């Protein structure tokens, strides 16, 4: 796992003054990566790093010639349209570039005069996918979510026998993943009402969100090789926010025996910024299963994972309806949670994913599954919040929601905070449009 170094020093400040206010998601201790260009331009997308309300254009920074030869190769690679090649360079290269950028952006840096011309305001930018996602696996890592969902269908036995032994996951669809700002039509599919003699085809009636986090793989492994839990985080480049949109009525009819299919593959929304695992080092948390639960099998257990396998990330999911937008009203919170509630850690997900020799590749994405917490206010999907639609949520403007309606925008935000430093992820926002029928 990443260790603390000078880039984590809470006393560091930046010559980009907006990074120093204690409210920004992007202080100098963060430095997350994205792919961007100026909005509305025909510029090529290229790599950028967030600092305050600005983006350091890595292509311009690489062309400036002010970085040492030691970091120049990493800088030029990270400046490409997609981050896959930089991800493939591995942990030492990621750390070397992070240290060089931290030094360059600190208050008093001799590079300030040169790099000022390499900044682009985030307000003037648009984002592309940060990398090519070759494969996407979605896990089911919150025991609270699994229990809540299971109780709706199996009140006497909500968890299936394998849940506490295996990090459950399924292979999802990567082509429909897009960055914050994504809009998509309500999915159409086959559903069957409980009292119907046969199924019918039409727009989803039980549209849902799922508050998750995404885990990006950096350097991968060869086919047939495993990644041990002790080395798993050396293969994790960083994390983002993730909304795994779900069509619950389509899912209910199709999921047996092979699990989700059309209910999940129509859209997923990520935040454009990838926060590196190194930036998250000060916010690690201890991890354990309850003493009376089965303990992880040896390939899923290590002293380091027990000591700091968790990450303390505060999460919030908000809604802005079409009526709220028309009235100029801001999004309101539906639920809050924390990544530390996850029953399985990042390292365990990677170790389990590769225990059979599955080959991971740079840019592969793992979804954590819905990160619901133990309390009712931490139920992070509409199906949980409303007890499958039986108890609609009333919003401050009087609108009610059993499930999501056309025009609803769901916004996920997240941050870590300790010692006066806030490490944020930006936001993942997506909007449902009417079905194409």
| Whole-Å CA distances, 129 to 176, 181, 240 | 11, 12, 12
Specify whether 145 is catalytic: yes
Alpha-carbon span 118 to 127, nearest angstrom: 17
Catalytic residue among 145, 235, 352, 353: 145
- What are the strands, taking DSSP E only, across 266-320? 268-270, 275-276, 284-285, 310-311, 314-320
**Spatial CA neighbour of 225 closest among 360, 90, 85:** 360
Q: Which of 113, 14, 12 is nearest to 66 (CA)?
A: 113
Instruction: Return d(Cα 190, Cα 199) in angstroms, integer.
Output: 6
* Residues 85 and 77: beta-carbon distance below 8 Å: yes
How many residues appear in the chain? 437
Structure tokens at 45: 């997308």
User: Which neighbouring-strand residues pair with 43?
Assistant: none
Please give the C-alpha separations between residue 135 and each of 174, 244, 347, 363, 389, in angstroms, as whole numbers.
6, 15, 18, 8, 32
Selection from 338, 337, 346 nearest residue 368 by Cα: 346
Q: Is residue 386 part of an annotated ligand binding site? A: no
Determine if residue 370 is labeled as part of a ligand binding site.
yes
- Asked if 285 and 340 count as a contact pair (C-beta separation under 8 A), the reply is yes
Q: Is 210 annotated as a binding residue?
A: yes
Q: In what order do the strands lie in the sheet with 46-51?
A: 119-121, 54-57, 46-51, 33-38, 125-128
Q: Is 25 annotated as a binding residue?
A: no
Question: Which segments within 87-180 are labelled E, that is strand?
Answer: 119-121, 125-128, 136-139, 169-171, 177-179
SS3 189: strand
Measure the CA–CA gap between 322 and 406, rounded to whole angstroms: 8
Closest-CA residue to 255 (of 170, 155, 366): 170
Q: Would you tell me how many other CB atoms lie within 10 Å of the CB of residue 384?
A: 23
Tell whether 244 is in a known binding site. yes
Exposed, middle or buried: residue 261 (CB in 10 Å: 0-12, 13-18, 19+)? middle
Let me know: does 266 contact 389? Beta carbons within 8 Å. no
| 164 has binding-site annotation | no
Binding-site positions for Ca(2+) read 138, 210, 212, 244
- Residues acting as catalytic residues: 145
Binding-site positions for Mg(2+) read 244, 264, 268
Binding-site positions read 138, 140, 154, 210, 212, 244, 251, 255, 264, 268, 370
């Amino acid at each position: 796992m990443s260790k603390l170094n000078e880039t984590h020093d809470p006393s560091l400040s930046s010559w980009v003054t907006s990074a120093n206010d204690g409210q920004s998601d992007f202080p100098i201790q963060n430095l997350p990566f994205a792919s961007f260009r100026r909005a509305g331009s025909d510029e090529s997308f290229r790599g950028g790093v967030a600092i305050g309300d600005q983006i350091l254009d890595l292509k311009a920074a690489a062309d400036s010639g002010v970085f040492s030869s030691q970091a120049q190769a990493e800088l030029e690679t990270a400046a490409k349209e997609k981050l896959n090649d930089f991800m493939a360079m591995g942990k030492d290269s990621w750390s070397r570039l992070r240290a060089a950028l931290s030094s360059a952006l600190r208050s008093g840096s001799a590079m300030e005069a040169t790099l000022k011309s390499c900044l682009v305001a985030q307000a003037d930018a648009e984002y592309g996918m940060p990398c090519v996602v070759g494969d996407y696996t979605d896990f089911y890592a919150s025991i609270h979510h699994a229990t809540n969902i299971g109780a709706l269908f199996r009140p006497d036995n909500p968890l299936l026998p394998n849940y506490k032994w295996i990090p459950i996951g399924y292979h999802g669809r990567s082509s429909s993943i897009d960055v914050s700002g994504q809009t998509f039509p309500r999915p159409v599919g086959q559903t069957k009402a409980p009292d119907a003699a046969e199924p019918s085809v039409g727009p989803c009636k039980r549209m849902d969100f799922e508050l998750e986090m995404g885990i990006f793989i950096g350097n991968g492994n060869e086919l047939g090789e495993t990644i041990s839990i002790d080395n798993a985080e050396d293969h994790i480049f960083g994390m983002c926010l993730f909304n795994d949109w779900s069509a619950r009525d389509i899912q209910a009819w199709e999921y047996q025996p092979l699990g989700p299919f059309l209910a999940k593959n129509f859209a997923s929304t990520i935040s454009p910024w990838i926060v590196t695992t190194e930036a998250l080092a000060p916010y690690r948390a201890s991890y354990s299963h309850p003493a009376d639960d089965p303990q992880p099998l040896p390939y899923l257990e290590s002293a380091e994972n027990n000591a700091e396998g968790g990450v303390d990330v505060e999460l919030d999911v908000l809604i802005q309806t079409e009526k709220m937008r028309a009235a100029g009203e801001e999004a309101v919170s539906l639920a809050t949670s924390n990544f530390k509630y996850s029953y399985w850690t990042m390292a365990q997900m990677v170790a389990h994913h590769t225990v059979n020799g599955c080959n991971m590749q740079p840019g592969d994405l793992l979804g954590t599954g819905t990160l619901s917490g133990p309390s009712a206010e931490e139920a992070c999907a509409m199906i949980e919040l409303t007890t499958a639609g039986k108890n609609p949520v009333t919003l401050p403007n009087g609108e009610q929601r059993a499930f999501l309606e056309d025009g609803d925008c769901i916004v996920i935000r997240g941050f870590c905070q300790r010692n006066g430093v806030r490490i944020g992820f930006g936001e993942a926002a997506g909007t449902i449009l009417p079905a194409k029928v």
